[in-house]
Structure 1
Amino acid sequence: MEFINIEDKNSFEKFYNAFRLYFKSLYTRSYREIILLCIGTDRSTGDSLGPLTGYKLKPLLRNKAHVFGTLEEPLHAKNIMKVLEEINSSFYMPFIIAIDASLGSLKHIGHISVGKGPIKPGAGVSKDLPPVGDMFVTGIVNISGFMEYMVLQNTRLHTVMKMADIIAAGIFRTIMEVSKENKVRAYE
């Protein structure tokens, strides 16, 4: 797992490089389509990272990936099971990238983490949801351990927006590159 500090002057390049490395090592030819699960709600500043990222990516990735979770149609605890059922019945061998806000240690607030495998959405606020994703991107928006709902409500929007900008730009650049490479490979 990689951690990228959003206040680092090279945070975009560091995120892009980490995301691209994980994506290219995990996204093999056996997967058919790319699914982005942008988890969270627009009703809580700290939990809006997913919907903000989805809002930015959906129009950009129109023919390249399927985006679930935007400001208009958030993907959250109340509807995630239905969306997962829809994905399982509509897509064969999808590659799923889970994007979500998280709470963490004081030293990791303001960091984006990228890694292999699923995340457990809602774990920070004691929700019991299934693990999702072949890889994940999380933004550590605030500290965990005490009154998580209040902590999420009192998270700075600036932090969340900066994370969403970096994540959306890095994912967009990676998927466009891979899409271009796959077209080239198809003609070889």
Structure 2
Amino acid sequence: MKSRASGNHASALREGAAEDGLVGRVHYRDPQAAWQLADYLLRLLEPHPGAWEQPAVVCIGTDRSTGDALGPLVGSQLARLAPQLRVYGTLDEPVHATNLAETLVRLARASPTFVLAIDACLGRAENVGSLTVRSGPLRPGTGVRKSLPAVGHAHIVGVVNVGGFMEYLVLQNTRLGIVWQMAQVIAAGVVHAAKQASELLHMRSRAFS
């Protein structure tokens, strides 16, 4: 039997492993971090006004590793705070390395207008706690040397700990308090962005009706 910390479930990124596409970066301790994330997301989607009509959020990770629990923590909060969003990956039903391909099949059948992916990331010590929004798909698993399918039209990654050595052990020994606070900020940012985008769509539909 595999332990609860089994590497089969790990899906964290390595900092800088994703395509460039940088939209913005903020530290989770910044008092305006959630609003800044929302602004980055809205800026990213400004040329595509219909993107938030049927959005989906894929929160990747597992509760079997503290550092890799960022995605499921965000997903559980979004499922509670933003029921209008189609959320994949919660503490109860995580999306990780072993079921990611199956989840993407379900996602394709749902035909969302926009897919936002969220994952944990390992990086340099000075960047721990930073939250980054990038355009383009997320490529999970690079932080633990796994090759997994790309996910999403854009993504948010949070640097939960220092990478470069014994990544599985680092993820398993990451402080839950930091990961929880980062998850709260990300969830709040996505909720703010979804609310503002919905209001903008409503205003545009009224203007053209």
Mark yes or no: TM-score above 0.5. yes
* CA distance, structure 2, for counterparts of residue 65 and residue 102 of structure 1: 24
1:12-52 CA-to-partner distances (Å, cap 9, x unmatched) read 33323223322334x44367521100000011110001000
| 1:176 lines up with 2:195 in the alignment | yes
Contact 2:115 2:154 in 1 (8 A): yes
Give runs of ≥4 in structure 1 deviating > 6 Å: none
TM-score between the two structures when normalised by the length of structure 1 = 0.91
- Which amino acid in structure 2 is aligned with residue 187 of structure 1? R
Aligned to 1:12: 34
- Which amino acid in structure 2 is aligned with residue 14 of structure 1? Q
TM-aligned CA deviation for residue 73 of structure 1: 0.3
TM-aligned CA deviation for residue 10 of structure 1: 3.0
Aligned to 1:124: 143
Unaligned stretches of 5+ residues in structure 1: none
Aligned to 2:55: 34
Note closer, same or farther for the CA distance 1:13–1:177 as it changes in structure 2 (3 Å cut).
Answer: closer
Note closer, same or farther for the CA distance 1:184–1:86 as it changes in structure 2 (3 Å cut).
Answer: same
* CA distance, structure 2, for counterparts of residue 31 and residue 56 of structure 1: 19
* CA distance, structure 1, for counterparts of residue 31 and residue 152 of structure 2: 29
- Which amino acid in structure 1 is aligned with residue 89 of structure 2? G
TM-aligned CA deviation for residue 3 of structure 1: 1.8
TM-aligned CA deviation for residue 58 of structure 1: 0.8
Aligned to 2:78: 57
Q: What's the % identity of the aligned pairs?
A: 39
Unaligned stretches of 5+ residues in structure 2: 1-21
* CA distance, structure 2, for counterparts of residue 4 and residue 30 of structure 1: 23
- Which amino acid in structure 1 is aligned with residue 98 of structure 2? K
* CA distance, structure 2, for counterparts of residue 138 and residue 120 of structure 1: 11
